[in-house]
Structure 1
């Protein structure tokens, strides 16, 4: 999909994923699966026009996890406290404010991602 103009609105997460380049589609699907493996009760929504995952019902979607495809990476948004908590394990990845960037040409750190998702859920629960 060519990325010019405003981002379209997608009805489902599948629609969002299917609109991306093949490399991004694969990583997005893997991330989605890892999030659901870590927290099976996760509810999928589109928030800010991107795939979002509500880990705890009735908590603001803006405080949950999001994934976004870009030209050369996938951004995983587990929020700043999670990024800070796992900073030693994220040294080989580019991080930003509340985000971890996964390059399209490298394998995902699957176990780390699941631990980050669980940490985020526990953080939201106040544990």
Structure 2
């Protein structure tokens, strides 16, 4: 009897990205260029962050996850469980986008808000650094 892989197994095989380059190579033209612009903006705003693939999309870590991004049919999303403070800080700018606690959808028909992306990433880096500094220090063993 022939055993066929499930649809989930097939989909996972198609999206087992090992790098951000590999992820971005699945896009063409303008979408790929926009994703690269988001990537460049994040890297400039968080130069110490490690670039990884998490949940099969690009992510950046600096004392925990800073931000993720992804491409969809009609938009690019910047995502992470954003704090209430971040959402309040950027409330006016975010009002023109579809926003949840965990994602900001930037439509392809509009110019990318590069300056806002940079400032959101810088804000997230500071949040993570403050959270790390607030953690109790472990005593050194002698």
Question: Above 0.5 in TM-score?
Answer: yes
Aligned structure 1 segments of 4 or more residues deviating by more than 6 angstroms: none
Instruction: List alignment gaps of at least 5 residues for structure 1.
Output: none
Give secondary structure in 2 for the equivalent of 1:75: strand
User: What CA RMSD, in Å, does the superposition of the two structures yield over aligned residues?
Assistant: 1.9
Instruction: Name the counterpart of 2:124.
Output: 120
If you compute each CA radius of gyration, which structure gives the higher value, 1 or 2?
2
Shift of residue 99, structure 1, vs aligned partner: 1.1
Length-normalised TM-score, structure 1: 0.83
Gap runs ≥5 in structure 2: 1-7, 132-142
Counterpart of 2:73 in structure 1 is 71
Corresponding residue to 1:108 among 107, 112, 116? 112
Question: What displacement does 1:45 show?
Answer: 0.5
Pairing of 1:40-51 with structure 2 (within 5 A): 40-51=47-58
Using the size of structure 2 for normalisation, the TM-score is 0.75
Q: 1:78, CA displacement in angstroms?
A: 4.3
CA-CA distance at 1:97 after TM superposition: 2.4
CA distance in 1, matches of 2:98, 2:81: 14
Summarize deviations over 1:80-118 as a string: whole Å, max 9, x none. Answer: 213343111111111122211111121111111111100
